[in-house]
Amino acid sequence: MAAQNPGTELDLSWISKIQVNQPAVLRRAEQIQARRTVKKEWQAAWLLKAVTFIDLTTLSGDDTSSNIQRLCYKAKYPIREDLLKALNMHDKDITTAAVCVYPARVCDAVKALKAAGCTIPVASVATGFPAAQTHLKTRLEEIRLAVEDGAMEIDVVINRTLVLTGQWEGSDFIKTSTGKETVNATFPVAIVMLRAIRDFFWKTGNKVGFKPAGGIRSAKDSLAWLSLIKEELGDEWLKPELFRIGASTLLSDIERQIYHHVTGRYAAYHDLPMC
């Protein structure tokens, strides 16, 4: 993804003045989670939209070329074709936003997507994922190798030591977490991050993207995240260039909900084997 944030002069006085009203943030988070979601065809439409924001991810120690190939096939065909036909959406080219893998698996993903005849970008978690506690030279080399192998996007793990000591870094996207922490994407933290994005846009005119990752597993969760983005940042941010969902199992539940909407019954395992 091309850099969309040209950067701006760092104003530490602005950062130091930021205060968070924690009770208000928690109330807002509860409001989002308690709200009734849309139903029937509106729910199906929003779920299909959610699919297009997913960075379909596998970050396992036992990843192989075969399961990467399977992941890429699912990224290209996220919802069963007969279900899309029933919704009259079979010709809309609905795919996930990207495929996200370890640097060593980028070649496998690029090859599999090319074989599938699609242009879904490959993202990679370079820079010493998930802790970033490696030498800067090593982290930069990992980025270079991933890009050389065909990665179009890099999920950079920041050196949190720099943040904790007030040495801030800029970004095109900010992410709630690596997805490998005990606590990952939560609504209270997301609200603070989204309002920082909004304030930064108002102050500089530069748009920063947002990616919640870790623990987002249900279709209902995805609808809550889309609603939060729409209300806090507006429709302008509801596009893959500015919003992603990092997830490995979310797509399975979305497809099951689409199946239920179309057929009126919940899918058995053999109905959706690619899940």
The pLDDT tens digits of the residues spanning 6-63 come to 667 777 778 778 889 999 999 999 988 887 777 788 999 999 999 999 999 999 999 9
Angle CA 213–219–220, to nearest 5:
95
If we measure between CA atoms, which residue out of 143, 170, 198 comes closest to residue 4?
170
Structure tokens given for 110: 């690029």
- Residue 273: what pLDDT? 67
d(CA 163, CA 107): 32
3-state DSSP call for residue 247? strand
Please answer whether residues 47 and 254 qualify as being in contact, where contact means their C-beta atoms are separated by less than 8 angstroms.
Answer: yes
pLDDT tens digits for 220-229? 999 999 999 9
Structure tokens given for 63: 């990843």
Mean pLDDT of 104-123: 95
d(CA 206, CA 36): 33
Residues acting as catalytic residues: 175, 211
- Residue 3: what pLDDT? 55
Cβ neighbors of 193 (< 8 A, separation 6 or more) are 174, 176, 210
Question: What structural domains and CATH numbers belong to the chain?
Answer: 19-263 (3.20.20.70)
Residue 270 has pLDDT above 80, yes or no: no
- Residue 272: what pLDDT? 81
Structure tokens given for 205: 């005119």
Question: Residue 147 corresponds to which amino acid?
Answer: V
- CA 75 to chain centroid, in Å, comes to 13
- Residue 107: what pLDDT? 97
Please answer whether residues 190 and 228 qualify as being in contact, where contact means their C-beta atoms are separated by less than 8 angstroms.
Answer: yes
